[in-house]
Structure 1
Amino acid sequence: MTATDRSARLLVGLLAAAGAAHMVAPKPFDATIPQALPGSPRAWTHASGVVELLLAAGVAVPRTRRVSAVAAACFFAGVFPANVKMAYDWRHKPAALKSLAYARLPLQVPLVLWAAKVGREAAR
């Protein structure tokens, strides 16, 4: 197995785990949904979980890996406002929780870059 294959498999694992977490334990994710979005936070939580599971499936299949990994990069960029909301909402929490929320913000950048790289390196 090549490093490219390992990277793609790790991305599949991350997306699948995140998608499953959105379904199994949605409450923490509900709190990150910006109020400006229409509908219920739970619907958005479940929808984002479904998207993550679909992206994981797409990245897992070599034939669809390129487009799915690029879509994952876009998804990671698109959920950034939820991380900003979490950091803002947790600004008065204990230092450890506040640090966790703030640490998620710059983490989005390597996730976007990683998914984009998996997409670039996928077989054409």
Structure 2
Amino acid sequence: MARSPLGITGRTTIWDVYIGFNISHSIVLTVFGLFPILIGKYDFSLATEERWVLRISILVRLGYLLTALIFWFFAPAIASSFLFFRQFVYFLLKLVRLCLEALHGNLHFGNIR
């Protein structure tokens, strides 16, 4: 399997596709399957507003990007990089908003958004 080309590119083997598929789907099932469902069931604002949830999401998307670059061909890598950078920019914009609110005095210690 490690030496058998898949036919999509000369670089991708059946083994790479097999490993990449299993890694990516285990990530989906454990992190993006169960975790957001449990959070959304009990507190939806936690899934959309908490920075640590956004950080975990960014790390998972980065994992997808690295998996696509290492084991797959470039179509999944392009899609993964788009999703990763979109989530990363969203996180940075929320961080900038938080900093601006802190500078303007709108942020209270008991009410961190």
TM-score range relative to shorter protein: 0.3 to 0.5
TM-score normalised per structure 1: 0.38
TM-score normalised per structure 2: 0.40
Larger-gyration structure (1/2): 2
Q: Which has the higher contact order (CA 8 A, sep 6+)?
A: 1
